[in-house]
Amino acid sequence: MRDTAADCDAALAGWLAGSGIGMPAQAPLAVALSGGADSTALLLAAARRWPGGVVALHVHHGLQAAANDFEVQVQALTGALGLPLHIERLALVLRSGDSPEEVARQGRYRALARMAMGAGAAAVLLGHQADDQAETVMLALGRGAGLPGLAAMAPRFLRHGVCFGRPLLGLRGDALRRWLRQQGVEFIEDPSNADPGLTRNRIRQELMPAWERCFPAFRDTVARSARHVAQAQVLLEELARMDLLLTGNPPAIAALQSLSRERQANALRSWIGALAGRGPSTAQLETLLDLLERCRTRGHRIHLKVADGWVEREGGHLRWTPPV
């Protein structure tokens, strides 16, 4: 049986070596601690590897009755380990049509970034592991996602001015749970994990066991595919930057028309994504490309809802206008 403690230690060392942020002695590393098994294992491993160089961050979403239990659990754990703990309670506002999970996720990242800056942390480590990565790829496939979705979760990324990391993406969740039980360390199971109404839970309970029967090493192979996709996405982003230098920003219609339809789509997706914070839907992008192809006269008008705003023709260029 593999030594999960050693695997965690190696994963943390490998992540830090590739991060370029230096050792925790220069600035602490923060661990986003929910109280669940994965983040608990991450905190335990990080505290053992870098004594005195770790702080815990906890976000109280207030969206479920168990939220108070999670807060009590993280207070008990960090108290037992002698680690600093920062807690932020969110007052999330849900509007009609909002996904509670997505609103909570966005609020969580903002809160983690605020707490990390306040603690002077060099980075925030997240407890996502190999099962989470495989589930993310399956979700993306089910939604017909493009390369950004199929690339799944990156091992490191910047958000709200803070570096975030996922050092445990190569470790299985069941191994982390066994290790915690062997150490006598308690954790809480999120009640929402048993909700069959959530697609991710159905993937975990139904699809993943079937995949494991057919492909026992599927977690590793799916993760490898996600890395290949992520590499391809980097190349597309580089090509988009080159093409937008050619077309100008905002892009000139004639310059866009000199590109292949595929390169037009890639450049427009990048341009709109940078302005809107998210890319256009497939249907929006295809319609925009059709309009662009027909835009051969001065009087041709373009006025199309894309992302949350509008793409319009302004002289010889395109313009994206945010929602009012």
Helix (H, G, I), strand (E, B) or coil at 252: strand
CA-based nearest residue to 133, from 198, 219, 37, 218: 219
Distances (CA, A) of 310 to 43, 93, 94, 121, 324: 45, 26, 24, 39, 10
Q: Give the pLDDT confidence of 23-58 residue by residue, as tens digits.
A: 666 789 999 999 999 999 999 999 999 999 999 999
pLDDT at 169: 95
Inter-residue contact 153 to 166 (CB < 8 Å): yes
State how far the Cα of 297 lies from the Cα of 310, in Å rounded to an integer.
Answer: 21
Model confidence band, residue 299 (pLDDT cutoffs 50, 70, 90): confident
Residue 153 pLDDT exceeds 50 = yes
CA-based nearest residue to 162, from 203, 118, 195, 206: 118
Residue 136 pLDDT exceeds 80 = yes
Burial (CB < 10 A; 0-12, 13-18, 19+), residue 315, is exposed
Residue 1 pLDDT exceeds 50 = no
Model confidence band, residue 298 (pLDDT cutoffs 50, 70, 90): confident
* Mean per-residue pLDDT of the chain: 92
Q: Give the pLDDT confidence of 247-256 residue by residue, as tens digits.
A: 998 999 999 9
Please list, residue by residue across 178-196, b when 16 or more beta carbons sit within 10 angstroms of its beta carbon and e when fewer do.
ebbeeeebebbeeeeeeee
Give, in degrees to the nearest 5, the angle at Cα 217 between 182 and 105: 70
Residue 92 pLDDT exceeds 90 = no
Report, as an integer, the average pLDDT of 58-76. Answer: 87
Inter-residue contact 29 to 162 (CB < 8 Å): no
Q: Give the pLDDT confidence of 220-231 residue by residue, as tens digits.
A: 999 999 999 999
The residue written with tokens 């965690």 in the block is 8
Q: Give the pLDDT confidence of 186-209 residue by residue, as tens digits.
A: 999 887 777 888 888 999 999 999
